[in-house]
With several copies, the nearest count.
Chain A
Amino acid sequence: MIKVKFFAALRERLDCNETGVENFQGTAHELLDILKSRSTQWRATLEAQQVLCAVNQQLVPLSAEVNEGDEVALFPPVTGG
């Protein structure tokens, strides 16, 4: 299983801190497509703004491979400091 975490505006709009995707093999982009297909609301939210991706707590491009057991995080551009 792939654990997927959401942060900030994305977490609030999806009303979801964390979800799981079973039997997944592919890129972060493909994982995002699976999440978008869950509902029209998820699709709208995930397409409405720029989404950044971290795999195992490292920022990666959406072309990065995701493997069984990885921790994936999806979030908006960061705004700390």
Chain B
Amino acid sequence: MTIRIRVQNDDFDMAAEYERLRRNDSYGAVVTFTGLVREVQGDHLQAMHLEHYPGMTENVLMTIVKQADARWNLGDVTVIHRVGSLTLNEQIVLVAVSSAHRVDAFEAAQFIMDFLKTKAPFWKKEATTRGEHWVEAKDSDDKAGQRWSVNK
């Protein structure tokens, strides 16, 4: 199993990351999740700034991936999260998981995203035509994280 964790300012090449994961004869399933900067409803987004806690971020992401690997039968996992200034439609995050079986790949990718959203020290600040504000954490993300604590 190869785990790749990256926290970076630069954009990432989703196609190259996918190609890296698919080149293994044993894994028949690849699931990717990509998060993009989207428009703010009823307003116009001018920029998004992503702050993080260097050092802690990478450790938390690695811990989350290792928890997923202990729970499902996984091939390779890549997690890339950008920080710094982004604009509308830019890529923020990529989670890519390969596995012999599709259910493992789907569930592990969801698990990693759910915990990234609730445990990894990233914070988003949006600048719109009405000014700057820090994005509020969502209850729905806490709930998404909690569903994995019950054995399914």
Indicate if A touches B (C-beta under 8 A): yes
Interface residues of A, Cβ cutoff 8 Å to B: 5, 7-9, 12, 54, 57-59, 73, 75-81
B interface SS class: mixed
Other-chain residue from A5, A9, A58, A81 in contact with B35 (beta carbon distance below 8 A): A81
Other-chain residue from B50, B56, B102, B136 in contact with A80 (beta carbon distance below 8 A): B50
Other-chain residue from A9, A12, A54, A79 in contact with B56 (beta carbon distance below 8 A): A54
B interface size (C-beta, 8 A): 29
Q: B21 at interface (Cβ–Cβ under 8 A)?
A: no
The interface residues of chain B lying within 8 Å CB-to-CB of A81 are 35, 81, 92-93, 102, 113, 116-117, 120, 122, 141
Q: Contacts A7-B53, A57-B56 hold; do A76 and B117 have CB atoms under 8 A apart? A: no
Q: B4 at interface (Cβ–Cβ under 8 A)?
A: no
Q: 8 Å CB contacts to A: which residues of B98-136?
A: 102, 113, 116-125, 134-136
